[in-house]
Amino acid sequence: MARVHNFNPGPAALPLAALERARDELIDFRGSGMSIIAHSHRGKEYEAVHDEAIALIRELLSVSDDYHVLFLQGGASTQFAMVPMNLLPAGKSADYVITGGWSEKALEEAKIVGTVRVAATTAVGGKYTRIPKQSELELDPNAAYVHITSNNTLFGTEWFDFPDTGKVPLVADMSSDFMWRKFDVNRFGLVYAGAQKNVGPSGIAVVLARKDLVEGGRKDIPKVFRYKTHADNRSLYNTPPTFSIYLVRNVLSWLKDQGGLDAMEKANREKGRLLYGTIDENADFFRAPVEKESRSLMNVVFRLPTEALEEKFVAEAKKQKLVGLKGHRSVGGIRVSTYNAVSLESVQVLTTFMREFAKANG
């Protein structure tokens, strides 16, 4: 089988080693005579996988005992609702920093639950090309929390230095840049990430939640939506998506074998250097709309001189097995998603193609 160079924004490329392991264990999991999918979530075989996945997250990110590591269903969008349901009590307000379409969606959900403020927005005519500076944030010192989107998947902007929110807990949607590098979890009250970019398949979210916030969370919401319910039950309150968590385990164990998050960061920075370098060297043909210091290392967004050339670019790239390059429908242009499982070689093939395309069509 000829595998393609997959630059999809999510669901996205997964490491071949993690998929091969799943293939090998699919029918007969470790000599148990049945698939991992068919094992009980209360049985020792599955529980070992579940605990290993949690332990790998703790180890790779040095997550302290002050935090719960949870696997929750419903992807990142469910977290848009669960965060305010748990952490935004009546009489309090939450601050949202708006840097793209996903922060807009998070804000919309929070508005349904309680009182919210926009602490900053970088929207200009419905488009976002940068992350705000600390001095632009109008933070409420009494807010229940401050919410940011650490990487804006659609617009290709990323926070490299997280904001200082003082005593107010910082909550981050890290769906599209979770585990591309190490970060200090202790700076956050809560972090959530849909798994389908850097760590696994779609449908689940990884949540890192400070224990005191979980304990103090609202009790006037259905039990199944309380972080505390899932924390008290090690994410085994109800039947979890066992196969998805199994795959996350495979991806994280691959990540550890590669040298962990330091190795990931090095590779991701090199991929970004190559891509943005190619764009900047051909600035008469490619145009990156994002301000330099906000350029995402996960989703590299750029335009060509015309939409017709962008279509031709996507079609010709596909013939060379370079797929998933079309920009989001709300943004247009080209988007190259270069999550952990996208190899440096794939990016090299793409940048060679980009230079040739610019030369032939410029």
Residues that bind ligand PMP (CB under 6 A): 10, 75-77, 102, 149, 153, 173, 175-176, 194, 202
Choice among 95, 102, 180, 254 that is catalytic: 102
DSSP per-residue letters across 256-308 = HHTTHHHHHHHHHHHHHHHHHHHHHHTTTT-B--S-GGGB-SSEEEEB-SSHH
CB of 285 to ligand PMP, least distance (A): 28
* Half-sphere exposure in the Cβ direction for 292 (13 Å, CA): 4
CB of 83 to ligand PMP, least distance (A): 12
Say if residues 85 and 106 touch (Cβ distance below 8 Å): no
Q: What angle do CA 135, 138, 142 make, to 5 degrees?
A: 130
CB of 24 to ligand PMP, least distance (A): 28
| CB closer to ligand PMP, 173 vs 310 | 173
Q: Which residue is nearest to ligand PMP (CB)?
A: 75
| CB closer to ligand PMP, 73 vs 320 | 73
| CB closer to ligand PMP, 227 vs 286 | 227
Checking DSSP bridges between strand 93-98 and strand 146-149, what pairing results, if any? parallel
* 51 noted as active-site residue: no
| CB closer to ligand PMP, 67 vs 102 | 102
Cis peptide before 9 (omega within 30 of 0): no
| CB closer to ligand PMP, 6 vs 278 | 6
Choice among 95, 177, 197, 254 that is catalytic: 197
CB of 360 to ligand PMP, least distance (A): 33
How far apart are alpha carbons 101 and 327 in whole angstroms? 14
CA 10 to mean position of chain CA atoms:
9
* 66 noted as active-site residue: no
- Residue 206 pairs in a beta bridge with 71, 193
Say if residues 242 and 46 touch (Cβ distance below 8 Å): yes
* 197 noted as active-site residue: yes
Q: What angle do CA 216, 222, 223 make, to 5 degrees?
A: 65
Going by C-beta distance under 8 Å and a sequence separation of 6 or more, which residues neighbour residue 22? 246, 247, 250
Burial of residue 264 (CB within 10 Å: 0-12, 13-18, 19+) is buried
CA nearest neighbour of 346 among 5, 38, 39: 5
CB of 327 to ligand PMP, least distance (A): 13
Choice among 173, 228, 254, 271 that is catalytic: 173
| CB closer to ligand PMP, 243 vs 286 | 243
CB of 80 to ligand PMP, least distance (A): 7
Q: Give the gyration radius of the chain's Cα atoms.
A: 21
How far apart are alpha carbons 13 and 337 in whole angstroms? 9
CB of 107 to ligand PMP, least distance (A): 12
| CB closer to ligand PMP, 79 vs 86 | 79
Checking DSSP bridges between strand 170-173 and strand 190-194, what pairing results, if any? parallel
Query: Which residues are designated catalytic?
Result: 102, 173, 197
